Chains A and B, each alone.
Chain A
Amino acid sequence: EDQVTQSPEALRLQEGESSSLNCSYTVSGLRGLFWYRQDPGKGPEFLFTLYSAGEEKEKERLKATLTKKESFLHITAPKPEDSATYLCAANQAGTALIFGKGTTLSVSS
């Protein structure tokens, strides 16, 4: 069964303290690996799509990377406004996205 597992469930950082979030997937024939940000009571906000191992994408303080078994979302020098739940999803070609439970990030000043 295809699965997406995210760790840790929750992460507390001080402002400026860099860290990484992990997304492990067991999806045979991966088509895409997707990262979203979700604020409380809101819809997921698209961040990145990764397609192949070795691919990296960056946006401001966030960088997403992909290997054959997992993806990492690196957060460099986070700010309080980066506090949110970060969701990972994956799929095979032409099939529905499978979401992980998310990592809830809290950044304090």
Chain B
Amino acid sequence: EPEVTQTPSHQVTQMGQEVILRCVPISNHLYFYWYRQILGQKVEFLVSFYNNEISEKSEIFDDQFSVERPDGSNFTLKIRSTKLEDSAMYFCASGLVYQETQYFGPGTRLLVL
């Protein structure tokens, strides 16, 4: 069964450093998403992406964040200058229809020290 994959599974970085989180969505899906989940809190929407453009972004997704689909399979989230409060699980998701059923990856646990 096709699934969303994410790398790395864990990432530890120093405050102020740049990180890139990688995702491979399900191959025939057209819509891609990033979410984050701070420990013990809700899953929160960050951004949706379609046809090489951002479709929607939340207030969390400020200028330090960017997304890219560098090739036909990968989808990346870049955090330019990490802050302590960026420590969270980051989930990638993909779907066939915009903002309908979404399939999530296993997540990247980001720890900013």
Real complex partners, A and B?
Answer: yes
Q: Is A22 an interface residue (CB 8 A)?
A: no
The total of Cβ contacts below 8 Å across the A-B interface reads 53
Q: What are the interface flags for B74-113 relative to A under an 8 Å C-beta threshold, 1 for contact and 0 otherwise?
A: 0000000000000001010000001111111111010000
- Residues of B near A31 (CB, < 8 A) are 99-100
Q: Is A94 an interface residue (CB 8 A)?
A: yes
- Residues of A near B98 (CB, < 8 A) are 94
Please provide the chain A residues from 87 to 104 with a CB less than 8 Å away from any CB of chain B in the complex.
87, 89, 91, 93-102
- Residues of A near B58 (CB, < 8 A) are 96
Q: What are the interface flags for B37-75 relative to A under an 8 Å C-beta threshold, 1 for contact and 0 otherwise?
A: 000011111001000000010100000000000000000
CB distance from A37 to the nearest CB of B (A): 11
Question: In the bound complex, do residue A95 and residue B56 qualify as a contact, i.e. CB atoms below 8 Å apart?
Answer: yes
Q: How far apart sit A46 and B44, CA to CA, in the bound complex (Å)?
A: 16
- Residues of A near B41 (CB, < 8 A) are 101
Q: Is A34 an interface residue (CB 8 A)?
A: yes
Partner of B104, one of A44, A49, A102: A44
Q: What are the interface flags for A43-67 relative to B under an 8 Å C-beta threshold, 1 for contact and 0 otherwise?
A: 1111001000000000000000000
- Residues of B near A100 (CB, < 8 A) are 42
11 A-B pairs besides A44-B43, A94-B99 with CB distance below 8 A are A42-B106, A42-B107, A43-B6, A44-B91, A49-B100, A94-B98, A95-B56, A96-B56, A97-B45, A97-B102, A99-B42
